[in-house]
Amino acid sequence: MVAQLVVQLLKRAGWQNLLMITLLSTVLVAVAITINDFIIGLELPVLLLLGLAGLLLGWLAGSVSRLPGWLAGLILLVIGLEAMVVYVANLETPLFNLAGGLGLTLWQLVPPPTEPLTWPFLPPLNELTAGLDTLLTRLLAWLNGWISDDPVFDPVVGALVWSVTMWSVAAWAGGVTRRTGRALLALLPAALVLAVMMAYHPRYADRLLVLVVAAIPLIGLTEYANQEKRWQIAGIDAASFWPETLFTLLLVTGGLLGLATLVPSVSVWELAQRLFREPVEGRVQPFASALGLEGSSGSSFLEKYRAPGLPRQHLLGSGPELSQEVVLLINTGETPRPPIAAASLPEPPRYYWRSLTYDRYTGRGWFTSPTRQIDYQPGDIALEVETGRPLRQTVQVINNYDRLLYAAGAVVTANRPYSVLWRGTGDQFLASSTALSVTVESRVLTGLTADELRAAGSNYPGPVRQRYLSLPGTVPARVLALARELTATRPTPYDRAKAIESYLRAFPYSLNVSPPPRGSDVVDYFLFSLKTGYCDYYATAMVVLARAAGLPARLAVGYAPGRFDPIQARHIITAADAHSWPEIYFPGYGWVEFEPTAALPVNNRSVPELPEQQAQAVNSPPVIAPPPPAGPNWLWPVASATVAGLLLIVTGGWLLDGWRLRRLPPAALVQAVYQRLQQHGVRLAIPTQPGDTPFEFASMFIDRVQFHAAGRHTLRPIPTEVNRLTQLYVQTAYSNHPPQTHDKLQCLQLWRSLRRRLWVLWLLKFINRRPAA
């Protein structure tokens, strides 16, 4: 029955309208693919479904002639914004829980409660409010960056802006085409979006070709449809030329494409560069970055560290060779303790002994951006740092002569000749020395509290944003979507980092893992296939997820804290302590270590007391359990928005129509209602003639009603109501006694009752397959 109804609806829509919708859909697919290629955090299925839903709802809204265009546009914009806020901020679960809580609350109220109410809807309401408040805060911070000429890309806000843009472009295309028949105006927003994308990524010229190929026949079809309407209004009985028109349009399109291949090539992209990019690149580039639009972009023993790969032998998946062999002994100035007192005294801070940091992720591993080597003499200051506290450590190399300089934090100076490879100002790739015992002075961040890191904000320096937020375009969409789901409702960068760290620490630790398949992304393989691994997997996954969430992050390589010997006051580092970890940048502090690897203790920082509602939203573990469900989490918001849009458009149209009818005088009201009755006659395919009288029309209408509604009790009042409306119309049109106020009220009441039954009858017409009488 459903299939039959769909087939009948398609026949009713007409192949001309279906062809126009197909051409518009082709353009929207090109727009969706283009946005997905260049914007971090959006999934192609979501964009495609948004485009289709927006197009169909816009087409439907454009079909309701009594619904003003501005009101239809406002309704569609609210629908799209609501669906995308729910999707981007990951609020599906709180919404479902809120609906269930409201149901339970109503159940307690009926009958009147005899026990105190529990108000089960309040917890999900608080969670929903906290999520919306966080999203609003991030949106306001993003807008403030634009206003202050220092825009910062926030992936959650970027996903919201571009998804609403996709929805708006699709709804505009469908609504304008259906209502006005002006194809160029309908395609203008899509063309602007593609032009903006092409200005930054001109290699995808085929997307504009799709627009041109679809626009030419669409313009012809809409112009011919408009001409047919003008002929009908003028009373001209013209034959249909739809097949000939379509054939001619295809010939014209093919001819223009063929001509374009023969004429000399004119570089549209060079012109676009000169007109749109080069003159304003200095001012526009930061704002383009805020929207996610980014353009595509030593000594011999050090080459193995520069080469692409990952820390453990520069090949992820090889499995680190663990050993209890001591490789480093490090003294940080602690006082030796007697054996008796050693167990009762607190241990010194846990330091991570860093040797390398990587900034470029390839999908298979890490490498560094170009570096510049500077050699320093003993005591020369390599780095002027004001943050953190100074730490002097004496590093003795035992069985690890790799000539790398290990230190807690960034190297400031050393007592032996040393060299530093710099990626940029203050950005160390590595430090090296040939000495077997070196005293290194560095700056470390210890004692930082969660409250201090929450207050750090997100005012990142330009070089940090540019280098440590970049990801390759090959990162799978589900990885970017997971980052957004984990962090969308977290109010500060620190809370977003902790959410990612907590999520990854739920994965079991294992050394027995196989390398990722050829051509696969390392992080995607770890999160969705392996679901277990060792430090390289954890650290790489956190850096990628952090960058996808708008947090500057890098991969650090070296050794874990190791074991502290209180009697000799030194840190003993073995080969088993070889480690990699993520570091995230916080303004005013610098790079802060995080520990997502499940086999090591987390970096505990004192957490201040928070109000109950904020604590629930910020400090609770992420709701998403690893691994994420395989089914798409975007289907419900978009599907619900589509259904809500249909209900809003129908309800809004009915309410607006009723409001207009009530404002009419009695005579005009009766005439307007009778015209609507005639429109339903057209929908029911009643065979009328131009000379039919109102009573003849009513008789044929009643016959058709009885044919389709035989045996249905709810439709039995239709003949009586049709006869009464016809009598009111005849009295209005042909007698000297115009209708009065009581006739107007009776007409309104009849129409409210009759209208619902006529729409039910219209649906039954498609189901009833018997030949018409």
DSSP 233-302: HHT------HHHHHHHHHHHHHHHHHHHHHSPP--HHHHHIIIIITTTHHHHHHHHHHTT-------GGG
Mean of the per-residue pLDDT values of the chain: 78
Backbone angles phi, psi at 232, to 5 degrees: -65, -40
* Residue 139 C-beta-side C-alpha neighbours within 13 Å: 13
Q: Mean pLDDT, to the nearest integer, of 366-377?
A: 90
Helix (H, G, I), strand (E, B) or coil at 444: strand
Among 231-240, 382-391, 684-693, 700-709, the range scoring the smallest mean pLDDT is: 231-240
Residue type, 13: A
* Residue 236 C-beta-side C-alpha neighbours within 13 Å: 9
Helix (H, G, I), strand (E, B) or coil at 430: strand
User: Over 80: is that where the pLDDT of 754 sits?
Assistant: yes
Do the bridges between strand 570-574 and strand 578-586 make them parallel or antiparallel, or are there none, so unpaired? unpaired
Instruction: Write the burial class of residue 477 (CB in 10 Å: 0-12 exposed, 13-18 middle, 19+ buried).
Output: middle
Per residue in 724-752, pLDDT (tens digit) is 888 888 888 888 788 888 888 888 888 88
pLDDT of residue 439: 94
pLDDT band at 274 (very low <50, low <70, confident <90, very high): low
Q: What is the largest CA-CA distance in the chain?
A: 119
Among 18-27, 218-227, 252-261, 661-670, the range scoring the smallest mean pLDDT is: 252-261
pLDDT of residue 611: 37
> Left if phi > 0, otherwise alpha if psi is -120 to 50, otherwise beta: which for 111?
beta
Cis peptide before 111 (omega within 30 of 0): yes
Cis peptide before 771 (omega within 30 of 0): no
- Residues 364 and 472 sit within 8 Å (Cβ to Cβ): no
Contact partners, residue 281, CB within 8 Å, separation at least 6 = none
Give 514's DSSP letter: P
pLDDT of residue 236: 67
Q: For the chain, count helices (H), then strands (E).
A: 26, 15
pLDDT band at 688 (very low <50, low <70, confident <90, very high): confident
- E strands, 83-205, are none
Per residue in 75-124, pLDDT (tens digit) is 888 888 888 888 887 787 888 888 887 777 777 666 555 666 677 778 88
Which pair of structure tokens corresponds to residue 446? 């210890």
Which pair of structure tokens corresponds to residue 732? 């209005």
> Left if phi > 0, otherwise alpha if psi is -120 to 50, otherwise beta: which for 436?
alpha
pLDDT of residue 287: 55
Per residue in 303-353, pLDDT (tens digit) is 556 555 555 543 333 344 445 788 899 998 877 766 655 555 667 788 899
Spatial separation of the C-alpha atoms in residues 607 and 614, rounded to whole Å: 13
- Burial track 673-692 (b if 16+ CB lie within 10 A, e otherwise): bbebbeebbeebebeeeeee
Question: Tokens 């809004």 — which residue?
Answer: 652
User: Over 90: is that where the pLDDT of 249 sits?
Assistant: no
Element (H, E) at 529: none
Instruction: Write the burial class of residue 645 (CB in 10 Å: 0-12 exposed, 13-18 middle, 19+ buried).
Output: buried
CA angle 513, 318, 474 (to 5 degrees): 80
pLDDT of residue 9: 55
pLDDT of residue 760: 77
Helix (H, G, I), strand (E, B) or coil at 738: coil
Spatial separation of the C-alpha atoms in residues 719 and 696, rounded to whole Å: 13
Which pair of structure tokens corresponds to residue 762? 């219209």
* Residue 65 C-beta-side C-alpha neighbours within 13 Å: 3
Q: Mean pLDDT, to the nearest integer, of 635-648?
A: 58
- Residues 75 and 61 sit within 8 Å (Cβ to Cβ): yes
Among 97-106, 581-590, 670-679, the range scoring the smallest mean pLDDT is: 97-106
Do the bridges between strand 366-367 and strand 578-586 make them parallel or antiparallel, or are there none, so unpaired? unpaired
Identify which of 34, 521, 485, 49 has the alpha carbon closest to the alpha carbon of residue 293.
34
Among 279-283, 325-329, 747-751, 756-760, the range scoring the smallest mean pLDDT is: 279-283
pLDDT of residue 499: 94
